[in-house]
Structure 1
Amino acid sequence: MTIQALYTLFQECPSISTDTRKITPNSMFFALKGDNFNGNSFAKTALESGAKYCVIDEKEFLINEKCILVDDVLKTLQELANYHRKQLKTPIIALTGSNGKTTTKELIHAVLSTQFKTLATKGNLNNHIGVPLTLLSLTRDVEIGIIEMGANHHKEIEFLCQIALPDYGLITNFGKAHLEGFGSIEGVIKAKSELYEHLKQHHKPIFLNINDPVQVKQAANYNKLVTFDTSDSNHTLKLKSAQPLLSFEYQNTTVKTHLTGAYNFNNICAAIAIGTYFKVRPEFIKQAIKNYIPTNNRSQVIKKGTNTIILDAYNANPTSMMAALENFKQTESNQKVLFLGDMFELGADSAIEHQNIVNYIEKHIIANVNLIGSNFFKTKTVNPLIKTFETFEDLRSDLNSNTVNNALILIKGSRGMALERVLEFL
């Protein structure tokens, strides 16, 4: 079946499904494969659960005329998303970066949605499956799409751009993330800049933080730049405080947010710049950022009992970990407690990067420190306030016998560490 013919059937369906546990009525089910599952084997279940069509790529699961046999389900999903994107021609803002992608995307969405019908990537569905699914959820009434793009290898951003065909782009930053796949910080810069390269080739605007010299270098000699400044030199936008909640001054008004950390100021500046570019009224911009409440373990400030908790446990890499620690160091409290989990996908740099974090804590932070995971367990320290636990179960035993009260607590680690579990003991 051609993509054009499949698109005709897609237009009969109100949604796409990829999980038979979450089938929506009359949806089109794509039988994707993974390391431990074969979606083709669920085609019959999908139809019985209410799917109108099933896209499969193994002939033995061809049950009836509702099953559409293709060469490759994933490739077909991506091609259909690209075709749909071309039909609608919805303006697309794409963003990538090492840190802050999802928070920035949510802030941009909050700002733009005050004046436009917008659609943004849900959660962090930012890969070769998530991006097509987001594009396929675009409808004709959506005025602006905001697509987050993630990657841990070279050419992934380039590939996602070929599917989404963005009209605008933003890179939040370049940091020490996914070094195992990118090889080095230089590899990170090259890979993330694939977004810039795509926009340059198609003469599309780039939103550029001119306080980041690396970004400025990567966008050099390009004439379609929408620049913004995160310093206070122009006296229109400046950071007021970041402890524990961030506040900033914008157009002679102090705006208090629900975000923590000075590192989130760059994300706010990007959202304001994009809102301004699309002529969103300043009072709407202020209100949108003021009302935005982070979720999903990202930069959340939680009061629990007598403790104030900074929960930033969705992900971690050396750059984001150091930024969180710098902010924690500057936040005043009589008692501080740290729970830090391993940082994943660092490859050969893992040992030295974990030891660098320990060295920084020893030198700069006075706190009771709990380091969790096999990588942190191998680090060396002479500080008696720093405890290491090879597994979360080891930490659990310690928490069961030691209570934490009246403290400022930072919880941060890679997603696989699931450190939000610490909340159960606080």
Structure 2
Amino acid sequence: MEINTLYNLYSQHYLVDTDTRKIRKSTVFFALKGDNFNGNKFAKKALELGANFAIVDEKEYKTSANIILVDNVLKTLQKLANYHRKQLKLPIIGLTGSNGKTTTKELINTVLSAQYNTTATIGNLNNHIGVPLTLLSMTPETEIGIIEMGANHQKEIDFLCNICEPDFGYITNFGKAHLEGFGSIEGVIKGKSELYNYIKNNDKIAFINIEDKIQVEKSKNLKLIPFSETLKFVGVNPFVKLSYNSTTIQSNLIGSYNYTNIAAAITIGNYFKVSLIDIKNAIEEYESTNNRSQIIKKESNQIILDAYNANPSSMLVALENFKSLKDKYKTIILGDMFELGSSSLIEHQVIVDLATELDFDNIYFVGENFHKTKTNKHQFKTYDDLFLFIKNNPLEHQSILIKGSRGMRLERILKLIN
């Protein structure tokens, strides 16, 4: 089937689904395949549940006229998304970086949605499937699109840019994330800068933080919009406070590292002529969720839950920020950082040494990688070991930082903390 013909079917309702457990009436079901599942098997079920059409790439599952056979379902999804993007008469902001992508994306969306009908990446669905699905969730009513793009190898950002064709780009930072795939920090910089390459080659615009020397260096010869000169960092304890056009903005985000995320959202909002009062209200009303720098108050303890993800760069700033807080008693619970490749032991040891130097009241390391490091602090090879220890040695009257990679699921320990 030609992509324009398929587009005519999709544009009847602008609905696409890939999971029959969440199927919507009148949708187009794309039967994606993975290592442990085959969506082709659910094509018939998708129609029974209300889908108008199902897209498959295995001939045996084309059992009715409303089941459409293509060569490759995933590639068809991506082609359809790009075709749709070309029909959309709206600006799209592309966003990537090592740390803070999702929070920055949410802040940008919050600010812009004060004045526009926006569509943004849901959660962190920022890969070769998530980006097409985000594009296909945009409708003729959408006025601005915000696309988060993630990557752990070279050429992934380039590939995603060619699907979503952003008019504007922003890279949050370049840090030690996904070193296993990128190979080194130089590889990270090269991979993330593929967004700048796209912007340059297509005469688009980049937002940059001029205090980030790497951003400045890698964005030379681009059309640039720097952070507003009227933006000033005021302080943090624990929430970020800043000044914009002499107006004080008190956020609900902890950590000085979130200042640049807020600054990016303000700069982009200002470019799109969102009023100062709407920007201020949007920033002040935004609260982080999904285990990202959440403040959780218990009967005896206060918790900073930052267990959505972790890498050496984000660990470092989280520890330094936590040390700067004025709380009297402090405990840290740190879980393994993943996808660091051959540098894993070195990077975990650096974090162990830093945490020890900062001298918190209680220091707990959990995971196989941290267990291999040299330290005189508490080490737990598994989450169950940590769970048992805290159960028998409850924490009281502490400010607690919990941070680790998503696979560690350290938020589970909350049930033991009162």
Offset from partner CA, 1:138-186 (integer Å, 9 cap, x none) = 1111110000000000000000000000000000000000000000000
User: Once superposed, what is the RMSD of the aligned Cα atoms?
Assistant: 1.0
1:412 maps to 403
Is the 1:70–1:76 Cα contact (8 Å) retained in structure 2?
yes
| Distance in 1 (alpha carbons) for counterparts of 2:239 and 2:401 | 13
Cα offset for 1:237?
2.1
1:345 maps to 339
| Distance in 1 (alpha carbons) for counterparts of 2:147 and 2:346 | 34
Is the 2:78–2:163 Cα contact (8 Å) retained in structure 1?
yes
**Seq. identity, %:** 60
| Distance in 1 (alpha carbons) for counterparts of 2:240 and 2:413 | 24
Between 1:399-408 and 1:142-151, the stretch displaced more is: 399-408
| Distance in 1 (alpha carbons) for counterparts of 2:21 and 2:77 | 19
2:55 maps to 55
TM-score, L = length of structure 1: 0.96
Offset from partner CA, 1:358-401 (integer Å, 9 cap, x none) = 0111112322011110000111113xxx2111110111111211
| Distance in 2 (alpha carbons) for counterparts of 1:10 and 1:270 | 34
Is the 1:298–1:313 Cα contact (8 Å) retained in structure 2?
yes
Give the AA of the match of 2:330: K
Aligned positions of 1:4-403 closer than 5 A: 4-222=4-222, 224-228=223-227, 234=229, 236-382=230-376, 386-403=377-394
| Distance in 1 (alpha carbons) for counterparts of 2:84 and 2:246 | 44
Cα offset for 1:253?
2.7
Cα offset for 1:14?
4.2
Q: Structure 2: where are the runs of 5+ without partners?
A: none
Q: Secondary structure at the match of 1:176?
A: coil
Is the 2:238–2:254 Cα contact (8 Å) retained in structure 1?
yes
Offset from partner CA, 1:179-218 (integer Å, 9 cap, x none) = 0000000000000000000010010010011000011000
Is the 1:337–1:408 Cα contact (8 Å) retained in structure 2?
yes
Cα offset for 1:132?
0.2
Offset from partner CA, 1:62-85 (integer Å, 9 cap, x none) = 110010000000000000000001
Is the 1:258–1:300 Cα contact (8 Å) retained in structure 2?
no
| Distance in 2 (alpha carbons) for counterparts of 1:48 and 1:116 | 36
- How many residue pairs were aligned? 417
TM-score, L = length of structure 2: 0.98
Q: Secondary structure at the match of 1:105?
A: helix
Is the 1:93–1:166 Cα contact (8 Å) retained in structure 2?
yes
| Distance in 1 (alpha carbons) for counterparts of 2:32 and 2:221 | 42
Give the AA of the match of 2:231: L
Q: Secondary structure at the match of 1:50?
A: coil
Give the AA of the match of 2:271: Y
Give the AA of the match of 2:203: H
Cα offset for 1:104?
0.3
Is the 1:98–1:175 Cα contact (8 Å) retained in structure 2?
yes
Give the AA of the match of 1:183: G
Give the AA of the match of 1:422: I
| Distance in 2 (alpha carbons) for counterparts of 1:237 and 1:123 | 28
